[in-house]
Amino acid sequence: MLFGMNLVELIENYGIKGLLIFVLVTIIGGLLKPDVIGKFFSSISSKFKKKDTAVNESNVINHDLFNFIDFWSTSKIPTLSFSTEYREIIFRKYLIIYIKSYKDGISEFIDDGDYKEMDQSQLWKEFLNVINNIVFNYEKDALAAGIPDIVVKKMKAKNNDTIQLMIDLVNSISKSDFYESNDNYLKLYSILNIILSILENTITNAGPVCDSINGELKGLTMDGKTEP
């Protein structure tokens, strides 16, 4: 088991880059709730095994990330509770826009198929562009949908640390020889595992962000509901 190894064993089995990814995973684990940590560590630790498990295009296209996004959009987010009816409306709208932007951006990247021919540097640069575009799009779309600026800014501030950790992990995986496989399938599959946990973390953190907003929303109305 990866998490039962000592430092020397980690380096011997997976090298310095493997150790770096493990450390980053451990750090990000501290930002996630316990049940998310379990799923996150389980999905990531499986990728540290010797590369005797084939990952193919079907595993990437049908990754759990997309199923979870669909479930969250239709079932989980519409039932989330916030402190007022108005806040329920705006935070639910924000989160659906947020995860839809990730689904659209990543699906487009996968469907394009160019990642199969990319070297380590190209994969990293292109996926960084994907992440930047996703963030730009969900913030723009949230404001266009009438989500108050304070909500967008508060969520951005809350997400900054996890986004940076996600970028670091994606960078490490993209440039790691350990994750080399045909057509970059293992790298992309591993990156999608990370994003899945990041998105669930964001949904979980929406409640504390909502509670951190005081009187800035007072009197605002959306879909017939007004903030007291």
pLDDT digits (tens, 9 = 90+) for 100-150: 999 999 999 999 999 999 999 999 999 999 999 999 999 999 999 999 999
**88, part of any domain:** yes
Q: Which runs of consecutive H residues, i.e. helices, occur in 7-148?
A: 7-29, 34-45, 57-61, 64-71, 85-112, 120-144
pLDDT at 35 over 90: no
pLDDT digits (tens, 9 = 90+) for 170-188: 888 888 888 888 899 999 9
pLDDT at 226 over 60: yes
pLDDT at 157 over 60: yes
**3, part of any domain:** no
pLDDT at 53: 53
The better pLDDT of the pair 133, 42 is held by 133
**109, part of any domain:** yes
**17, part of any domain:** no
pLDDT at 197: 84
**2, part of any domain:** no
Beta carbons of 48 and 22 less than 8 angstroms apart = yes
Of 1-15, 57-71, 86-100, 197-211, where does mean pLDDT reach its minimum? 1-15
Q: Is 151 exposed, middle or buried (0-12, 13-18, 19+ CB in 10 A)?
A: buried
pLDDT at 61 over 50: yes
pLDDT at 156: 93
**117, part of any domain:** yes
pLDDT at 27: 45
The better pLDDT of the pair 70, 200 is held by 70
CA-CA distance, 141 to 98, in Å (whole number)?
A: 9
Largest CA distance in the chain: 61
Q: Looking at the DSSP assignment, which residues form a beta bridge with residue 221? A: 226
The better pLDDT of the pair 159, 48 is held by 159
**113, part of any domain:** yes
**Per-residue DSSP letter, 2:** G
CB-based contacts of 213, cutoff 8 Å, min separation 6: 87, 150, 151, 154
Of 15-24, 61-70, 140-149, 168-177, where does mean pLDDT reach its minimum? 15-24
CB-based contacts of 192, cutoff 8 Å, min separation 6: 60, 63, 65, 106
Angle formed at CA 212 by CA 208 and CA 213, multiple of 5 degrees: 125
**41, part of any domain:** no
Structural domain that includes position 111: 54-226
The better pLDDT of the pair 13, 154 is held by 154
Tokens standing for residue 159:
């997400």
- DSSP track, 21-43: HHHHHHHHHTTS-HHHHHHHHHH
Give how many domains the chain has, as a whole number.
1
Mean local confidence (pLDDT), 68-81:
96
pLDDT at 29 over 70: no
